[in-house]
Amino acid sequence: MNDCCTIPRPDQNSFDMAVIGAGSAGFSASITAAGAGKRVALIGHGLIGGTCVNVGCVPSKALIRAAEAIHGAKAAKRFPGLSGAAQVDDWAALMAGKDALVSSLRQKKYADLLPGYEGITYIDEGAARLVPGGVQVGARLIRAPKVIIATGGRPALPPIPGIRQVPTLDSTSLLALETLPESLVFLGGGYIGAELAQMMARMGVKVTMVCRSRLLPQAEPEVSEALTEVFRGEGITMHCGVTYDTCNRDGKRAVLCIEERGKRLELTADHLVLTTGRSPNTEGLGLSEMGIETDRRGAIVVGDDMQTTRPGIYAAGDVTNRDQFVYMAAYGAKLAARNAMGGAECYDNRAMPWVVFTDPQVAGVGLTVEQAVAAGYDVKTSVLTLDNVPRALAARDTRGVIKLVADAKTDRLLGGVIAAPEGSDSAQTLAMALKFGMTTKALGETIFPYLTTVEGLRLAAQTFDKDVAMLSCCAG
């Protein structure tokens, strides 16, 4: 064939877009761009799938459910005439089952998807570094006019003297333990710490929690108090509102020194579990050289369009200063890809639901009272304990509370939180109410099925104006 008739082959190192990171955000951005006909270099390094499927959401929730099964058997005695018991008989088998699930989902939802997208080229040839005009991957220069950074995050190491000398675990290594420990001290009472501490306590481990302020400090105080009471009832030792300044080793065990209400205490356990936050994976990316701004935590600062301070370079997911949830990472990455292709969409988290998979589960949407007041609203609230919810009474499980926040001037809902067994499934109803600007009156007049947890939202809305304890079933 003559050279004049030969169709040029695409440059194997030139793409329309380069995406750094092969987790949920990276895949979301790549699939979005490939679906629009763009050639994408998806640059991974290490295990494909990112935090959620490998060491985060999937393995933790699988083990949390297993722990709930143990607790459920023991809690059967709350019904007259019933009793039950369960325990961990084979920790290795339980962990093997978790690993098999992780491996299966990683293969089906990540690796096996790539062949279905002709526009995506997966590259795993070394660590990536931003350079003018593209990305350097090992010895290979990937040229792309648009780049999306989606490298995720990792557990942070708190700056406590002696921390490197004691036996510690983080959320990743805890979920990979080969043997079940006898005792653990959890440092940090946020989402991750709360979930994993209760899980391990239900597995039969002696658990102590240490919180600088309170359990779930991001949530409403009523929720924090209710969950703290539950934890104590399940045998978890709670130390809230404390300071800690050092730790040391006692043989093979860890010792954490704390000060609580003027008293100095030493807490000893097999391991100190560090759940005090996460750090963005930005090392070696060359951010400062490219003029990309980061915040005090080291996270990449992005605008509402998900673009960094360097034009043409975007970021999404846990590596940014945005919401640290896997579904928001995927959402932000999709926006980043669309905007990199000429779009003008803005990140919107006003009706973003969030869930903490404790038991009772804690789920919320919108503004807390503190946030609403800071935003200038004249706030009104309603608080409903679960002993007012027929579903909870029938289940003989009234652990939890529902709190709604509204604008006193317009009656429009501003936010809410529900702490209830399976309460997470009710969060989306509240999210829809906020998304479409419902008032508390409208929510209270909406028809809900009887003997459901979500009916509690209707009752909480009615609590703004009446005493629901004085209503008959389904009345109001």
The torsion angle over the Cα atoms of residues 217, 220, 221 and 226, rounded to 10 degrees, is: -100
188 labeled binding residue: yes
Compute mean pLDDT per 10 residues along the chain, 476 residues long, and list them.
Answer: 48 96 98 98 94 96 98 97 97 98 97 96 96 96 98 96 97 97 98 98 98 96 98 98 95 97 96 97 97 97 98 98 97 98 97 98 98 98 97 97 98 98 94 98 96 96 90 70
444 labeled binding residue: no
CATH of domain 353-470: 3.30.390.30
347 labeled binding residue: no
Are the C-beta atoms of 384 and 402 separated by less than 8 Å? yes
**Residue ranges with strand state E in 89-203:** 120-123, 128-131, 134-137, 140-143, 146-149, 153-155, 168-169, 183-187
Domain 17-49+110-154+279-340 and domain 163-276 have a common topology: yes
* pLDDT score of 117: 97
* pLDDT score of 10: 64
* pLDDT score of 361: 98
List the domain boundaries for the chain.
17-49+110-154+279-340, 163-276, 353-470
192 labeled binding residue: yes
194 labeled binding residue: yes
189 labeled binding residue: yes
144 labeled binding residue: no
425 labeled binding residue: no
Question: Would you give the DSSP letter of residue 300?
Answer: B
Assigned fold of 17-49+110-154+279-340: FAD/NAD(P)-binding domain (3.50.50)
148 labeled binding residue: no
* pLDDT score of 2: 47
Q: What is the 3-state secondary structure (H, E, C) of 184-216?
A: EEEECCCHHHHHHHHHHHHCCCEEEEEECCCCC
* pLDDT score of 184: 98
* pLDDT score of 9: 52
Assigned fold of 163-276: FAD/NAD(P)-binding domain (3.50.50)
Whole-angstrom distance, CA of residue 343 vs CA of residue 111: 28
Q: Which helix (H) or strand (E) holds 66?
A: helix 57-74
Whole-angstrom distance, CA of residue 300 vs CA of residue 321: 6
* pLDDT score of 6: 45
* pLDDT score of 473: 75
Question: Would you give the DSSP letter of residue 307?
Answer: B
191 labeled binding residue: yes
Whole-angstrom distance, CA of residue 472 vs CA of residue 476: 8
Q: What global pTM score does this model have?
A: 0.95
Ramachandran bin of 188, using left for φ above 0, alpha for ψ from -120 to 50, beta for the remaining angles? left
193 labeled binding residue: yes
The torsion angle over the Cα atoms of residues 409, 411, 414 and 419, rounded to 10 degrees, is: 130
* pLDDT score of 476: 62
* pLDDT score of 475: 65
Whole-angstrom distance, CA of residue 143 vs CA of residue 147: 10
